[in-house]
Amino acid sequence: MKDIVLYSTRCPKCKTIEVLLTRKEISYKLIEDADVVVKVGEAHGIMSAPILQVDDEFLDFSKAVKYINTL
């Protein structure tokens, strides 16, 4: 099983990712600390939330949706 972390600001796109993960019954850790979300984004070249971390890979919204839909 992969380690999945969702960095969220509770924006509509963040909520969409949460719904997709829940529908697929995928376990994930939720981080909603805005400072952490910004730091993770800056470190990985992602300038908006949500950020989905799958093991050591960091995905922006569109890549996260594509990833979830392949599961």
Q: What integer pLDDT is reported at residue 1 of this predicted model?
A: 67
CA of residue 13 relative to chain centroid, distance? 10
Say how many CA atoms lie within 13 Å of 64 toward its Cβ. 29
Q: How many domains does the chain have?
A: 1
Residue range(s) defining the domain that contains residue 10:
4-70
C-beta of residue 29 within 8 angstroms of C-beta of residue 5:
yes
C-beta of residue 8 within 8 angstroms of C-beta of residue 31:
yes
**pLDDT per position as a tens digit, 38-52:** 999 999 999 999 999
**pLDDT per position as a tens digit, 3-55:** 999 999 999 999 999 999 999 999 999 999 999 999 999 999 999 999 999 99
| Domain containing residue 52: CATH number | 3.40.30.10
Q: How far apart are CA 36 and CA 15, in angstroms?
A: 18
Average pLDDT over the chain reads: 96
Q: How far apart are CA 5 and CA 11, in angstroms?
A: 16
